[in-house]
Structure 1
Amino acid sequence: MLLSGCNSTEHLSFLNPQGPIATAQNEHFWLVATILFILIALPVFVGTVWIVWRYRYGATKSKYAPRWKIFKPLEYLTWGGPIIIVIFLSVLVWHNTERYDPYRTLASHLPTTHVQVIGYDWKWLFIYPEQGIASVGMLAFPAGQPLTMDLTSATVMQSFFIPALGSQIYAMGGMVTQLNLQADQPGRFLGENTMYSGDGFSQQKFSAVAMTPADFDAWVQQVHAAGIPLDTAALNAITTQGTKAQLRTALAPTASLPDDNVYFIDVKPDFFASVVMSIKGDAAFAPNISASTSTRGKEP
């Protein structure tokens, strides 16, 4: 109740869902919590008070039965109740796990935005292969349209999570995982790496920004105008261990960046695939920009 007074420009939690996946997870959470309370917590609370009162010191109605061996109705309740609860919750969780598989694309008559995500120490690189641009610190996409992300890591395993939109998923070196999300309306959402991966882990956050289609197109044009070419120097700065702020400092002499984020242009269509294959082949973390191998959705 005290935390409800806090306000932020970013949506922080699935308890305030901003998309269909987070809404479904929110409903699932409260359904399971209600079932557990009614069938487990409430009987324990009531039963504890009843037992303490009935068998209190000096009670005259409680019967002392030292030779009592078994009471079948109590045995059935003791063993049958938990078994039924576990079966019911297992079926419910299994059903919703299949239904909201992060690899399952969201049905829509609107076009899907495709973004490739690479986890570095300690920053996320978001690549827009169709637009030929990339960003660090901001994931922009149109609201009301499906967002499909392919994820990998250029270092250790990392955990990608936008709580207000739902579904955490891991990013692993040499492999590709996929996540499908959608924002119901324009807004700004907190994104982060939830797996400890070193000193800068706590700063590996980003803003996921859902825009109107017109605003998204304007943002793409802005990136093309202000972005830094993704050349060897920029790539070396990205792969160097450091936070987004340190990346900005390293690139500041070469460009005037419009905000706290870093934007790149001239991104090769096979850049993401080359990163995956370089890690998979136990090569250096720095990818071969001219590589021609492509991959999507699965381990290559």
Structure 2
Amino acid sequence: MFFQNYKYFINIIKIHFLGLNRILENKLLLNTIYLIFLILFLMLIVFNFLYQDIKQYIFLIDSTFIETIIWIIPTLIIFFISFYTIKSSFYLNPFKNIYFNIKPLIIEIISLNWKWGFIFPYQKILSFNEICIPILIPIKLFIISNSIMNSLCIPKVGFQLYCMTNCIKYAYFLPLKHGISHGFSSNYSGVGYKYMRINLFLVTKKTFFYWINIIHNSKVFNIKNYNKIIKKGFFYYSKFFNIRNNKVFFIIFKKK
């Protein structure tokens, strides 16, 4: 039963995630698990060898050699795992650009009560509670809150971003595989926070531009729409707008 559950857990980690950061994080987790099992296996072999005939090794009682081994081996194990973890953490820094030779797609995120707004400034579109992203292209996210502190979590992609008013945060990530993911607010922000859910579609570049062109035919976003949307409430469905000003994100930021 244990090995069946372990195999199921490993398969979930290997195939269930869509973003480069999450895949590398899971690779780190798997390598750590393999290392721990290897250490346990070696320790079982050593102790089985030592204690198969206890009378033969009676001289090891109160042995300085055994005491030294008992302290040194765990210390080396902890040092090795710590070094591996720290090195991987710097490598997976979400504030570091993944590919310097590829221009990232800019997406600006606004937390509202109780909805998520996504601005594509160069494509000049605005969507609420739904987002479409091309795969194999670096993504740079900017995020801010229009009200209280909030947090956007998308587990399959592998990031969680906190946001608050008058503070712009950014992060990079790279989607690798096609798929559908769901995000949610992981920070309590009022009675409607459970409705702050998003649908994330990871698609090809061609499909992404098709999605953009469809939204360009939507209603133009203006200050009246903004005043309605910032009111407390939630959407049961996604909304899309065409924007003429690609600096909507910073205009909202200056109003705070």
Return the TM-score normalized by structure 1.
0.68
Alignment match, 1:17: 17
Alignment match, 1:266: 243
1:76 match: secondary structure: helix
Supply the distance in 2 between the matched residues of 1:244 and 1:42 (Cα, whole angstroms).
Answer: 54
Alignment match, 2:112: 120
Shift of 1:179: 1.8
Alignment match, 2:173: 181
Alignment match, 2:194: 202
Shift of 1:110: 5.2
Shift of 1:115: 0.5
1:82 match: secondary structure: helix
Is 129-138 or 12-21 further displaced after alignment? 12-21
Supply the distance in 1 between the matched residues of 2:38 and 2:150 (Cα, whole angstroms).
Answer: 37
Shift of 1:74: 4.5
* 1:32 partnered with 2:32: yes
Supply the distance in 2 between the matched residues of 1:197 and 1:74 (Cα, whole angstroms).
Answer: 56
1:49-96: CA deviations, max 9, x gaps? x9xxx9xxxxx98xxxxxx9x543443344333332332222112211
* 1:235 partnered with 2:226: yes
Alignment match, 2:58: none
Alignment match, 2:139: 147
Supply the distance in 2 between the matched residues of 1:75 and 1:169 (Cα, whole angstroms).
Answer: 47
* 1:223 partnered with 2:200: no
1:95 match: secondary structure: helix
Alignment match, 1:98: 90
1:274-293: CA deviations, max 9, x gaps? 333444xxxxxxxxxxxxxx
Supply the distance in 1 between the matched residues of 2:29 and 2:121 (Cα, whole angstroms).
Answer: 35
Map residues 58-69 of structure 1 onto 2, 5 A cutoff: none
Q: Pick closer, same or farther for the CA change 1:153–1:42 going to 2, 3 Å.
A: farther
Supply the distance in 1 between the matched residues of 2:15 and 2:194 (Cα, whole angstroms).
Answer: 22
Supply the distance in 2 between the matched residues of 1:171 and 1:13 (Cα, whole angstroms).
Answer: 28
Whichever residue aligns with residue 100 of structure 1, its letter is L
Alignment match, 1:81: 73
1:161-190: CA deviations, max 9, x gaps? 222222323223221221212222432212
Q: Which residue, 135, 140, 150 being the options, matches 2:127?
A: 135
1:200-249: CA deviations, max 9, x gaps? 2222221111222222222112112123x33233212322222222xxxx
Gaps of 5+ in 1: 6-11, 55-59, 62-67, 246-259, 280-300
1:103-131: CA deviations, max 9, x gaps? 11221765521110111222211001112
Q: Pick closer, same or farther for the CA change 1:165–1:133 going to 2, 3 Å.
A: same
2:159 match: secondary structure: coil
Q: Pick closer, same or farther for the CA change 1:242–1:14 going to 2, 3 Å.
A: farther
Q: Pick closer, same or farther for the CA change 1:87–1:156 going to 2, 3 Å.
A: farther
Return the TM-score normalized by structure 2.
0.78
Supply the distance in 2 between the matched residues of 1:17 and 1:167 (Cα, whole angstroms).
Answer: 11
- Whose helix fraction is larger, Structure 1's or Structure 2's? 2
2:143 match: secondary structure: strand
- Please report the RMSD computed on the Cα atoms of aligned residues, expressed in angstroms: 3.3
